[in-house]
Amino acid sequence: MHLEEEDFSYSGEALIARPNNPSSISDDEWGDYLFMRKNPKGRHVEQWQHSSGCRKFFVIERNTIDNTIYSSYTMIQASKEIKHETN
Amino acid sequence: MKYSIFSLLKQGLKDNKEWPEAWSSPIIKSRYDVVIIGGGGHGLATAYYLAKEHGVKNIAVLEKGYIGGGNTARNTTIVRSNYLWDESAMLYQHSLDLWNGLSQDLNYNVMFSARGVYNLGHTLQEMRDIERRVNANVINGITAEVVLADEIKKRIPLINISKNVRYPIMGASYQSTGGVARHDAVAWGFARAAAALGVDIVEQCEVTAMDIDNSKIVGLNTTKGYVATNQVGCVAAGHSSVLAEMANVRLPIESHPLQAFVSEPMKAVLDTVVMSNAVHGYISQSDKGDLVIGAGIDSYNSYSQRGSPHVIEHTAAAILELFPAFSRARMNRQWGGIVDTTPDACPIISKTNVEGLYFNCGWGTGGFKATPGSGHVFASTLANDSPHPLAVPFAIERFYNGHLIDEHGAAGVAH
């Protein structure tokens, strides 16, 4: 099935875990969580929302040079599978 | 060679066949005192002011493409300084002050034309924001005034101030000292003036790795060999994150395509710059006669110098709401550039945790207007190993201590 890009909204880098204990971490750690981004030239793991459709968020791995999409995940799959790969 | 009426006459009599090249193409040396990565307007301006005002002799500018091939020649050339907050107003006004004498300073006509800039308001809340911004500008010594719809119509006859549109024009802020400049002439002018002061401009030379020893920069690997240096200024716009990763520096930057397009040339119909946040577009007419049109970024991260067609459609729709007469104009060329956006829509001019490594980036969608000022304060930051007073608020630390400079209102769309 083909859907237009306009059906979706972009929500940036995926799998940025919110620190469990914000009040006890340093300003550097909190600033890093809030603002710092990988912004890679190449493969990027990112969140999108099907905002004009089912409203679900999902994760894809996309190439930021030529827009090739390598894989897609539900949020639950992504948190299990991709984290597992990078750990 | 100094450009003047006499050199023009002399070369004209020789059938324009003996003009010397504007800047030379030197062989890269093995060591430089300062290396600037990125040969766009900001990088070249940095090198120029380093050589001119700080007496640094041995400088290289490394450019992975060619001079005038990146964002410097891909923007919509708008120059203004009507920012809300003191920090950014001062920085952009510093740049505007430099624009005013730039052609004489560089001995190169950058065609800066202070034809005025209108930022339209379409809702009551926008008009309140405009009043606030104009008042803030006036307090900061920046020329600004509020203009209402009827007056706008007198000054810009083609504009549509009808109430029978989705977002009727209610008024605008007007900065009479803003305008446009010829973008590629800015790159060429700074390149020529920097080269005349002994700066090596090395094109087709990409930095592939940074040599960092004990948290100090000691050299760079490039596609033209190794260069030893103890000071590196990164001015790579959309590619800043790529350089940062080489040094394990984290940046709050995301790279997005920003598209623009021009119409076929036509007779003079628009003698000023018109921008609108609400309908989301901006337009001016170049000296050549083409309408220069732009809008917002594509939403997704990208390093390809193109964007999605629906953004162009949205931009054209916005411009036609303002100027219905342009519906008959045919578009000539369309392109994209990669802009480095930050969370607070303000630049980063900063030292890093690596000694000798500095970043000047994050200018996002509105860097062209800042070209001379950005280079000027960054040169001072490099030369003194300490931020220029105007650059202090723009250090990377603001993302850790919370002192953000939220310019989305003034900079979110408009350039």
Can you tell me which residue has the tokens 């300003």?
A27
How confident is the model over A31-42, as pLDDT tens digits?
999 999 999 999
Q: Is B267 on the interface with A (CB under 8 A)?
A: no
Interface contact flag, B399 A35, Cβ < 8 Å: yes
Q: Is A2 on the interface with B (CB under 8 A)?
A: no
Enumerate residues 24 to 83 of chain A having a beta carbon within 8 A of any beta carbon in chain B.
27-28, 30-32, 34-41, 44, 46, 62, 64-67
% residues pLDDT > 70 (chain B): 98
Give ipTM to 2 decimals.
0.94
Query: Rounded mean pLDDT of B207-232?
Result: 98
**pLDDT of A86 higher than 60:** no
- pLDDT, position B302: 97
Q: Are the C-beta atoms of residues B262 and B270 closer than 8 Å to each other? A: no
Interface contact flag, A28 B400, Cβ < 8 Å: yes
Q: Name every chain A residue with its beta carbon within 8 A of the beta carbon of B242.
A: 41
Q: Name every chain B residue with its beta carbon within 8 A of the beta carbon of A4.
A: 310
Q: Is B299 on the interface with A (CB under 8 A)?
A: yes
Which of helix, strand or coil describes residue B286?
Answer: coil
Q: Are the C-beta atoms of residues B289 and B268 closer than 8 Å to each other? A: yes
The residue in chain B having the minimum alpha-carbon distance to the alpha carbon of residue A39 is B254
- pLDDT, position B67: 97
% residues pLDDT > 90 (chain B): 96
Which of helix, strand or coil describes residue B290?
Answer: strand
**pLDDT of B231 higher than 60:** yes
Longest dimension (CA), chain B: 66
Q: Name every chain B residue with its beta carbon within 8 A of the beta carbon of A34.
A: 343, 399
What CATH number did the domain enclosing A13 receive?
3.30.2270.10
Instruction: Compute the distance between CA of residue B390 and CA of residue B381 in angstroms, rounded to an integer.
Output: 10
**Least CB-CB distance to B303: which of A5, A27, A41?**
A41
Query: Rounded mean pLDDT of A30-55?
Result: 97
- pLDDT, position A21: 93
Residue of B73, B80, B118 whose CA lies nearest to B99: B80
Number of domains in chain A: 1
- List the single best residue of B341, B399, B405 to mutate versus A (max A Cβ within 10 A): B399
Q: What is the mean pLDDT of chain A?
A: 92
- pLDDT, position B415: 45
What's the predicted TM-score (pTM) here?
Answer: 0.96
- pLDDT, position A79: 86
**pLDDT of B32 higher than 70:** yes
- pLDDT, position A85: 53
In the A/B pair of chains, how many CB contacts fall below 8 A? 65
Domain positions in chain B are: 29-77+184-253+344-411, 113-178+254-341
- List the single best residue of B300, B340, B352 to mutate versus A (max A Cβ within 10 A): B300
How confident is the model over B100-132, as pLDDT tens digits?
999 999 999 999 999 999 999 999 999 999 999
Which domain range does residue A47 map to?
5-86
Query: Rounded mean pLDDT of B311-336?
Result: 95
**pLDDT of B376 higher than 50:** yes
Q: Name every chain B residue with its beta carbon within 8 A of the beta carbon of A6.
A: 310
- pLDDT, position B331: 93
Q: With left for phi above 0 and alpha for psi between -120 and 50, is residue B291 left, alpha or beta? A: beta
Structure tokens at B72: 């410097």
- The 3-state DSSP composition of chain B as helix, strand, coil percent (nearest 5) reads 35, 25, 40
Q: What is the mean pLDDT of chain B?
A: 96
Instruction: Please tell me the CATH code under which domain B113-178+254-341 is placed.
Output: 3.30.9.10
**Least CB-CB distance to B300: which of A10, A27, A38?**
A10
The radius of gyration of chain A's CA atoms, rounded to the nearest angstrom, is 15
Interface contact flag, B299 A32, Cβ < 8 Å: no
Instruction: Please tell me the CATH code under which domain B29-77+184-253+344-411 is placed.
Output: 3.50.50.60
Residue of B414, B229, B411 whose CA lies nearest to B318: B414
